[in-house]
Amino acid sequence: MAEVILKNLSKRWGDFVGVDNQSLDIHDKEFLVLLGPSGCGKTTTMRMIAGLEEPTSGEIWIGERQVNDDLPKDRDVAMVFQNYGLYPHMTIFDNIAYPLKVRGTPKAEIRPRVERAAAQVELTQFLDRKPKALSGGQRQRVALARAIVRTPKVFLMDEPLSNLDAKLRVTMRAELKHLSRELKVTTVYVTHDQIEAMTLADRVAVMKHGIIQQLGTPDEIYNDPANLFVAGFIGSPAMNLVRGRIEGGQFLTEDGVKLSPIASEDRSEVVLGVRADDINVHEAGEGDIDAPIYAFENTGEASFLTVEWGDQRVIARGDRHLRKDQDDVVGLSLNPDHLYLFDPNTEKRIRL
Amino acid sequence: MTGKQRKQVWNAVQLTLIMIATFIMLVPIVWIFLAAFKTHVDVYQLKLFFTPTLENFSTVFDDPYRLGEKLFNSTIVALVTVIFAIPIATCAAYSFSRFRLRGETTMLVMILATQFVPAVVIILPFFVMFRDVGLLDTRLGLILVNLAIVMPFAIWMIKGFIDGIPMDTEEAAMVDGSSRLQVIWNIVLPMAAPGLLTAAIFCFIIAWNEFLFALILTNKNAVTLPIGLALFKGEEGDLWNLLSAAGIIIMAPMFVLALLIRKYFVQGMTMGAVR
Amino acid sequence: MRDNTLKYVLVLPAVLVVFATAIWPLMESARLSATVGRLNRPGSLDQYIGLENYTWAFFEEPSFWNSVWVTGVYTLLTVGLTTLLALGLALLLAPGGRLRSGVQTLLILPFAMSPALIGVSFRFMFNPEFGLFDAFFGVVMPPLADVSWLADPTLAFAVCVMADVWGWIPFLTLVLIGGLASIPQDTIEAAQVDGASGWRVFRDITLPQLGPVLAVVIILKSIFSLKTFDQIFMLTNGGPGTATQTLSHYIYFNGMKYGQIGYAASVAWLMVIPMILLTYLYAKYVFRKN
């Protein structure tokens, strides 16, 4: 049980910057998710914590100890890999037992501990098989069991669910959440999937270009995005971002469509952010603004309308019983309590 | 002709060509095979039907040919060459595969290049040196020079196999608490074992068939099987029945070994340029 | 031990072996090539004469140029014939199926055969009295019926080429089958749907995509053709006269039979030069792949 502290951590390969001077405190027993698109430095950050990658500069602390110079084996961490990293020539039992064996755990102790870990992930009847004979989800469980068979200071999980099919991913996500609440071990979890991040995390760090864009609880990340990137990355569908200006308490799109009253001083360049949920759909003429439908999509649980404001498209969420057709005109109104403004040049949020 | 008929004709043409090619490929081998079971008299006639005899196989092991000694030499030389080459090559291949080394490309190209240097160039200085230190006509001397031809193949081939082992697995073992050497011993070697065996067999075949070094460096005690073929030139010409029997003894074991690893032959010979 | 040290420790033995068994002899050969270098004359291995051996080869030895010519023609013919025939065979065998994969398996046999043994077996096959191929050609081409192949300079050369082509076709075929298998099937299917004939598909789609593999094959075969020794030694021993004396054979004869090791080393080094060029080309393909 320990906290993990990164101080001014950087990783460069020649001119390429993987992680750029980042500092991060991960609390004891916290479940922290590093979230971002591929190439954002999240995996590199985790691999530096594991000791698989050497930082170019900066410090890594696990508990009371600076571990920069420690080999992976001496850091007392456990890791679940994207492709599981199972040992194909060993049985499942030996796979799970390996971290104990190699650390010199007494023989008598190994069997009960492996069996308990296997039971926790429901693998008991597969212990004699080789990884090849297991399905993807089962292999995933072996990787988990191998991590939890010891009590490491930190769990590291590198996109552990990304190789599973969509349905299994949802099941495993719940199991993972259940397990992590039960074990209460500091966990760093890397993913590019925002749903995983939102559902699993105590706190999320959104990364891009080697820099943490925002660190906060899932609620904060969703409801209070710090900049354009976070706003556009979190949420499904992504937040609508409309370029325009503010004149006399009104937001106008780039091509002059008057959209919504907003409590802000005049600005010549601004980006308005609004989630699909916060755009209400009415019949034509009944909202603040009328717009033609570019595409109408019905997902069963909701309907999504892509409409055109000038030459910018936004997506609005309508009732699941709503039926419209392409080129129909609908009325829209924005929920004034959930509008966000961003500076298009600095990409920072403009607080109202 | 309809499209279907044309297709059938074309298929028949293909099959005929394949049969002809196969025939040409097998005839010299089959002919040697048959000759090995022919008597001294039969072999000098173009006979397809004859009374087979095993006599040639016992003759070649008797005086004055004593093929047994050559067989022993070939086995020892090829075996010891492989026993030295594979562990050394495995260490190097692992390092080349997993780490970035200073001058890595240079080293790999050099290793590749040594394979392409004509053997005659390499053997001249070795002949002079072995003459001075008394290694001429010894198995040890042959083993040393055979390492030269086998090592590049072994390094490149094993590197190919190790490249195929996912990095994830090794990293998992490291996080699980293994040192680098434990990773190599517990994870990489068992996983690469089939590849190592393949490389070993491949190198064995190369060392077994090696001709020029043995021709130049041996004359009596360390003579290997391919050189031993020259024994069967009698005063009245080649003793074809005996040559053929010796030929079978040379090639039959290699056929078996080659069939075992045939999937990897191409990769080995091209040093990974073609997989 | 930290990885940074370990990685060099691991390659050290191999580098030493390669150095001792390849780099050192190369350097030592270069040194020998600048000496009088007579095996039977003590001290002559340290008696330096500059480039005299090289100028001797160039200006005083028609037999050197004969070997260059033999090796050159031999290389061109064997590379060309082997590649073409192997490509044809590969195209025939690539579709797979029982028969074809069976034949593919058999292809390994000639390839596992020692080249020396190939030489022996072809001498056997072309024996004027009871050689099978000799008899066959006698029937197909009556003028060749009573010819002793290996006694005729041109025909002996032809036999050497045949033996080489026979021995190498299987390997090249296997490589090319591998190359054909790695061509994405959908590109070929797309061309077929687009209306290309079988020949057009081969010329426009298959051949260009096979290019790199074909290049590797040609370079590799050139290297091995240039080095040819074993078969020639067992088949004709360079004869009749010097009609089939390749450079390797010439070097062997001068160095070992005549004891002129300095001269042999100089010719050997002349042979290394085209090898360096070919290796460079080859390495480019290997590293592009990785």
Averaged pLDDT in 10-residue chunks for chain B of 275 residues: 81 91 90 85 74 82 86 95 95 92 86 83 89 91 90 89 89 90 91 90 91 90 88 74 89 89 74 61
The total domain count for chain B is 2
DSSP character string of A69-114: TS-GGGS-EEEE-TTTT--TTS-HHHHHHHHHHHTT--HHHHHHHH
pLDDT tens for residues B253-263? 999 988 888 77
On whether both B141 and B183 belong to a single domain, the answer is yes
On whether both B86 and B162 belong to a single domain, the answer is yes
Residue B234's DSSP bridge partners are B237
On whether both B191 and B202 belong to a single domain, the answer is yes
Which distant-in-sequence residues (6+ apart) come within 8 Å of C199 by Cβ? none
Q: Which two tokens stand for residue C229?
A: 């020794």
**Residues of A near B (CB-CB distance < 8 A)?**
50-52, 71-73, 75, 77-79, 81-89, 98-99, 102-103, 143, 146, 156
Q: Where are the domains of chain C?
A: 61-289
On whether both B129 and B29 belong to a single domain, the answer is no
Which residues of chain B have a CB within 8 Å of the CB of C123?
Answer: 238
On whether both B189 and B261 belong to a single domain, the answer is yes
In a mutagenesis test of the C interface, which of B117, B131, B162 is the best target, namely the one with the most C β-carbons within 10 Å? B117
Q: Which two tokens stand for residue A141?
A: 């469980």
Chains in contact with C via at least 3 Cβ–Cβ pairs below 8 Å: B
Closest-CA residue of C relative to B123 is C25
On whether both B61 and B194 belong to a single domain, the answer is yes
8 Å CB contact between C231 and C167: yes
Q: What is the dihedral of CA C216, C220, C226, C228, to 10 degrees?
A: -150
Q: How far is A24 from chain B (nearest CA, A)?
A: 22
Nearest residue to B88 (alpha-carbon basis) of B140, B143, B147, B139: B147
pLDDT score for C87:
94
CB contact under 8 A, B43 and C130: yes
Single-letter code of the amino acid located at A280: N
On whether both B21 and B146 belong to a single domain, the answer is no
Of the given ranges (A95-104, A199-208, B37-46, B125-134), which has the lowest mean pLDDT? B37-46
Q: Is residue C73 scored above 90 in pLDDT?
A: yes
Q: What is the dihedral of CA A169, A170, A171, A172, to 10 degrees?
A: 50
On whether both B31 and B117 belong to a single domain, the answer is no
Nearest beta carbon to residue B18 from set C15, C103, C279: C103
CB contact under 8 A, A156 and B175: yes
Q: Which two tokens stand for residue A54?
A: 């050497």
Compute CA distances B127 → B200, C194, C262, whole Å: 27, 63, 12
Compute CA distances C150 → A87, B25, B240, C136, C232, whole Å: 60, 21, 16, 15, 11
Mean pLDDT rounded to a whole number for chain A:
90
Question: What value, to the nearest 5°, has the Cα angle with vertex B171 and ends B167 and B172?
Answer: 115
Q: How far is B143 from chain C (nearest CA, A)?
A: 11
Nearest residue to C247 (alpha-carbon basis) of C70, C96, C86, C112: C70
pLDDT score for A209:
93
Closest-CA residue of B relative to A86 is B169
Single-letter code of the amino acid located at A143: A
Which residues of chain B have a CB within 8 Å of the CB of C111?
Answer: 258, 265
Q: Is residue C131 scored above 80 in pLDDT?
A: no
Which residues of chain B have a CB within 8 Å of the CB of A81?
Answer: 168, 171-172
pLDDT score for C195:
76
How many Å apart are CA C72 and CA C68, to the nearest integer? 6
pLDDT score for B1:
64
8 Å CB contact between A4 and A61: yes
Which residues of chain A have a CB within 8 Å of the CB of B171?
Answer: 50, 52, 72, 79, 81, 85
Measured from the Cβ of residue A329, the count of other Cβ atoms closer than 10 Å reads 13
Which residues of chain B have a CB within 8 Å of the CB of A52?
Answer: 171, 174-175
8 Å CB contact between A332 and A280: yes
8 Å CB contact between B134 and B75: no
Chains in contact with A via at least 3 Cβ–Cβ pairs below 8 Å: B
Give the burial class of A138: count Cβ atoms within 10 A of its Cβ; 0-12 exposed, 13-18 middle, 19 or more buried: middle
Q: Is residue C136 scored above 60 in pLDDT?
A: yes
On whether both B118 and B48 belong to a single domain, the answer is no
Which residues of chain A have a CB within 8 Å of the CB of B177?
Answer: 73, 99, 102-103
Report residue C212's pLDDT band, with 50, 70 and 90 as the boundaries: confident
Question: What is the SS3 assignment for chain C?
Answer: CCHHHHHHHHHHHHHHHHHHHHHHHHHHHHHHCCECCECCCCCHHHCECCCHHHHHHHHHCHHHHHHHHHHHHHHHHHHHHHHHHHHHHHHHHCCCCHHHHHHHHHCHHHHHCCHHHHHHHHHHHCCCCCCHHHHHHHHHCHHHCCCCHHHCHHHHHHHHHHHHHHHHHHHHHHHHHHHHHCCCHHHHHHHHHCCCCHHHHHHHHHHHHHHHHHHHHHHHHHHHHHHCCHHHHHHCCCCCCCCCCCHHHHHHHHHHHCCEHHHHHHHHHHHHHHHHHHHHHHHHHHHHHC
CATH architecture entry for C61-289: Orthogonal Bundle (1.10)
How many Å apart are CA B192 and CA B176, to the nearest integer? 20
8 Å CB contact between B154 and C27: no
8 Å CB contact between A83 and A57: no
pLDDT score for B236:
64
pLDDT tens for residues A302-338? 899 999 887 889 999 988 888 888 888 998 888 888 8
Nearest beta carbon to residue B175 from set A50, A83, A89: A50
How many Å apart are CA B118 and CA A47, to the nearest integer? 47
Closest-CA residue of A relative to B176 is A99
8 Å CB contact between C190 and C107: no
Task: Dump strand ranges (E) for chain B.
Answer: 233-234, 237-238
On whether both B77 and B211 belong to a single domain, the answer is yes
pLDDT score for C41:
83
pLDDT score for A157:
93
8 Å CB contact between A46 and A151: no
CA B148 from centroid of its chain's CA atoms = 14
Nearest residue to B32 (alpha-carbon basis) of C138, C134, C234, C123: C123
Nearest beta carbon to residue B171 from set A52, A75, A102: A52
CB contact under 8 A, C166 and B271: no
Q: Is residue A347 scored above 60 in pLDDT?
A: yes
Mean pLDDT rounded to a whole number for chain B:
87
Q: Is residue A12 scored above 80 in pLDDT?
A: yes
Which distant-in-sequence residues (6+ apart) come within 8 Å of B105 by Cβ? C287
User: What is the set of domains in chain A, with CATH numbers?
Assistant: 4-233 (3.40.50.300), 240-350 (2.40.50.140)
Identify the residue whose tokens are 């937040």.
A239
Structural domain contains residue B275: no
Single-letter code of the amino acid located at A20: D
Structural domain contains residue B187: yes
pLDDT score for C38:
87
Closest-CA residue of A relative to B171 is A52
CB contact under 8 A, C275 and B255: no
pLDDT score for A191:
94
Domain that holds residue B51: 3-56
Which residues of chain B have a CB within 8 Å of the CB of A98?
Answer: 173, 176, 186
Of the given ranges (A40-54, A116-130, C51-65, C124-138), which has the lowest mean pLDDT? C124-138
Report residue A203's pLDDT band, with 50, 70 and 90 as the boundaries: very high
* 3-class secondary structure, A52: coil
Q: Sign (positive/negative) of CA torsion A299, A301, A306, A307? A: positive
**Residues of B near A (CB-CB distance < 8 A)?**
166, 168-179, 182, 186-187, 190-191
Compute CA distances A270 → A172, A350, C43, whole Å: 42, 9, 91
Q: How far is B269 from chain A (nearest CA, A)?
A: 28
Nearest beta carbon to residue A102 from set B168, B169, B182: B182
CB contact under 8 A, A51 and B173: no
Task: Provide φ and ψ at B110, rounded to 5°.
Answer: -60, -45
On whether both B92 and B169 belong to a single domain, the answer is yes
How many Å apart are CA C53 and CA C33, to the nearest integer? 7
Nearest beta carbon to residue A83 from set B166, B182, B191: B166
Which distant-in-sequence residues (6+ apart) come within 8 Å of B54 by Cβ? B37
Nearest beta carbon to residue B125 from set C28, C110, C213: C28
CB contact under 8 A, B116 and C15: no
Q: How far is B271 from chain C (nearest CA, A)?
A: 8
Closest-CA residue of B relative to A149 is B176
Largest CA distance in chain B: 77
Report residue C91's pLDDT band, with 50, 70 and 90 as the boundaries: very high
Which residues of chain C have a CB within 8 Å of the CB of B163?
Answer: 290
Question: What value, to the nearest 5°, has the Cα angle with vertex C77 and ends C71 and C83?
Answer: 125
In a mutagenesis test of the A interface, which of B176, B181, B184 is the best target, namely the one with the most A β-carbons within 10 Å? B176
Give the burial class of C141: count Cβ atoms within 10 A of its Cβ; 0-12 exposed, 13-18 middle, 19 or more buried: exposed
Nearest residue to A20 (alpha-carbon basis) of A52, A48, A50: A48
* C145 or C179, greater pLDDT: C179
Which of B56, B81, B98 represents a domain boundary (last residue)? B56
Which residues of chain B have a CB within 8 Å of the CB of A72?
Answer: 171, 174-175
Q: Which two tokens stand for residue A95?
A: 């796979």
8 Å CB contact between A295 and A327: no
Nearest residue to B264 (alpha-carbon basis) of B184, B190, B187, B203: B203
Find the CATH number of the domain harbouring B201.
Answer: 1.10.3720.10
Q: Sign (positive/negative) of CA torsion B186, B187, B190, B195? A: negative
Report residue A352's pLDDT band, with 50, 70 and 90 as the boundaries: confident
Compute CA distances C52 → A100, B151, C33, C58, C68, whole Å: 71, 35, 9, 10, 19
On whether both B260 and B223 belong to a single domain, the answer is yes
pLDDT tens for residues A136-148? 889 989 999 999 9
In a mutagenesis test of the C interface, which of B42, B203, B266, B271 is the best target, namely the one with the most C β-carbons within 10 Å? B266
